[in-house]
Amino acid sequence: MKGILDKNMAKKHKPSKAGSPAVVSRRKQKARKRKIPWLWIILGTAALFFLVAVLIQKPATSQGSEIPAVQAYEKYQQGAFFLDVRSQAEWNQVHIARSTLIPLDELQSRLVEIPRDQDVVVVCLSGKRSKEGMTILQQAGFSRASCLTGGLTAWKAAGYPLEGTNP
C-alpha cells in the first residue's frame, strides 16, 4: 500500500507537462503566429483607407485647375471673365479680346474688381504667372478660378482671337 501511495504522491508532486516553461513558450509562439496574419490584414486595410482618403480629398481641395486652350476658348465663348496678370507693356502688345488686365503684383489688392459669380480664367504669356494668380484667387475664395495652360502662346497657336499692337 505504501508503494501505491508513494506513486500517487509522486504524481501529485510531479510538475505537469502542460505548465512546463517549454510548453508555455510553444503555446505563445503558436498564438503569435495566429495573430500575425490578422495584423497584416489590419495594417493593409488601414493603409488602403488612408490612400482612398487622400485621393478623395485631392479633387475636393483643388476647385480651380489648369485648362487647355480649347477649354478656355469654350469658357470665353460662354462669357467667362478673362484675367490677364502680365504687365501693362506686355498687355499692350498682345492680349485676349475682352480680357481684363490686373498685373500679378497688384492682384491681391484689386480682388474687388473680379466677379465672384462667374468663371475666371487667369492668363499670362506661358502659364507660370497665371498659376500664381489662380492660387491667389483660390485663397481669396474664388472657387471658379482656373488658368490657361501654356498661356497666350497656346491660345495664339490655336488661332483664337487676340488684340494689341502685335497680335
Return the domain boundaries, the chain: 2-61, 66-163
Superfamily of domain 66-163: Rhodanese-like domain (3.40.250.10)
pLDDT digits (tens, 9 = 90+) for 2-55: 555 555 555 555 555 555 666 656 666 666 666 677 767 887 788 777 777 767
Alpha helices in 66-142 (DSSP H): 69-77, 88-93, 104-107, 128-139
What positions carry a catalytic annotation? Answer: 124
Mean pLDDT over residues 122-145, rounded? Answer: 94
Residue pLDDT, tens place only, 79-94: 999 999 999 999 999 9
- Which residues of the chain form beta strands (DSSP E)? 66-67, 81-84, 95-96, 100-101, 120-123, 145-148, 162-163
Give the model's pLDDT for residue 102. Answer: 97
- How far is 59 from 57, CA to CA, in rounded Å? 6
Task: Return the closest-CA partner of residue 93 out of 155, 157, 164.
Answer: 164
pLDDT of residue 92: 94
Q: How far is CA 46 from CA 38, 57, 60, in A?
A: 12, 17, 21
Q: Which residue has the higher pLDDT, 56 or 132?
A: 132
Q: Which residue has the higher pLDDT, 138 or 9?
A: 138
